[in-house]
Amino acid sequence: MAFAWKASGLTYNRYLAVAARVVRRSLKEGERLKAERRGEMELKFAKWENGKQGENKSLAQANASSMAEGAGHGQGQ
Amino acid sequence: MLSRAVRPAFNAAAVVSARPIAADAAGYATLREIEGRLKSIRNIEKITKTMKIVASTKLNRAQRAMVDSRSYGETSNTVFEKAETKPIESEDKKTLIIVCSSDKGLCGGIHSGLSRATRRMLEKKPNSDLVVLGEKSKAQLGRSSGKNIQLSFAGVGKDVPTFADAQAIADQISLLPTDYADVQILYNKFINATSYEATPIEAFSEEAIRESPNFAAFEIDDEVLANLREYALANSLYWALAEGHACEQSARRNAMDNASKNAGDMINRFQILYNRTRQAVITGELVEIITGASASEG
């Protein structure tokens, strides 16, 4: 069983996040604002090597780009 | 002014008055000092009180999120309980420890409690890898065991953690190159409003899930297994983050409550000291006036 989203390099979590975003966006105005606040994510992360912290990067961008790398044929978003 | 005017008379007349004058001069200085300290302690009390109120309001929301996320995480883990999944015991594969702390301090010892628990786990398995969420534990663990850290996340704990946070973290963790035998998510378990305990949640690797004794009861395709694993990791992370957040808020509330209480005690003490010193100064001045008057009369 091959999934279209898997073939386009998304992880299951990413797939869920995208689906959840679509649902949130299709809500009514007032509810939508409340719901969209639940979908926000502003984390930063850094890779460590040999006890040294690397550069601080935005997690959202890094995730998107790493998934784009793994994509077979374009992003399925 | 007055004391200077009568001083010649004093020096000539009474030797005893030398002590009151010295105390008097010091009394003026300390009186002002005490006033200054009182003022600053009052300001600190105001700040800690405000922070306590803020923490209490946030605590309510955080606790609600915690209760929700707990049932969520527990439901997600029921699968593994029923399947009797156990972590694989193998020597050559590493363990990953995910530490869920946050960015903010001023909340007592919950971050250092987590760091201590992590160090204890590292003693048992020295080649485990670490993923640290939150600046506080990162600073503490970075000093003692920086070599083990693979990833660190910042920006945790500004608000009630969202599932989107957990998902993004889980994604980045699953991108790590090493294949881990088991994943331990270390978080502060909320026991009651005043006590927490650093507790690990297991998140299993695919292999561990596949080898669990009751695995056949669930008809899971191999292809979907990776999804289940990623999703379960995100669920557990969300649970750990939300519960950790609630613990942090409640710890902050308690810490600020204690700080306000201590400031109140100090204010009382200084107020009494201040009044006493003020009275002593007034008495000193009166003595000066009276002795001065009686000396000039005689």
Residue with tokens 């599932």: B163
Tell me the residues of chain B between 218 and 277 that have a Cβ less than 8 Å away from chain A.
Answer: 221, 223-224, 226-227, 230-231, 234
Question: In this predicted complex, what is the ipTM?
Answer: 0.84
Q: Which helix (H) or strand (E) holds A66?
A: helix A59-69
B5 pLDDT higher than 50? no
Q: From the list A40, A44, A66, which residue is nearest B154 (CB)?
A: A44
Q: Which residue of B has its CA nearest to A52?
A: B146
Residuewise pLDDT in 10s, chain A (77 residues): 567 887 777 888 888 888 998 999 999 988 898 888 888 888 888 888 877 888 888 888 888 887 777 665 443 33
Confidence of residue B157 (pLDDT cuts 50, 70, 90): confident
B81-126, pLDDT tens digit by residue? 888 888 877 667 788 999 999 898 888 889 999 999 999 999 988 8
As given in the structure block, the two tokens for residue B3 are: 């004391």
Q: Which residue of A has its CA nearest to B143?
A: A51
Q: In the prediction, which pLDDT does B26 show? A: 52
Mutation target vs B (from A14, A37, A41, A63; most B CBs, 10 A cutoff): A41
Do residues B96 and B180 lie in contact, with contact meaning Cβ atoms separated by under 8 Å?
yes
Q: What is the DSSP letter of B211?
A: T
First vs last C-alpha separation in chain B: 22
**B165:A12 CB<8 A:** no
The total of other beta-carbon atoms located within 10 Å of residue B103's CB is 18
Confidence of residue B42 (pLDDT cuts 50, 70, 90): very high
How large is the average pLDDT for residues B15-32? 53
pTM value?
A: 0.83
B19 pLDDT higher than 70? no
Do residues B62 and B249 lie in contact, with contact meaning Cβ atoms separated by under 8 Å?
yes
Do residues A32 and A24 lie in contact, with contact meaning Cβ atoms separated by under 8 Å?
yes
Q: From the list B149, B155, B175, which residue is nearest A48 (CB)?
A: B149
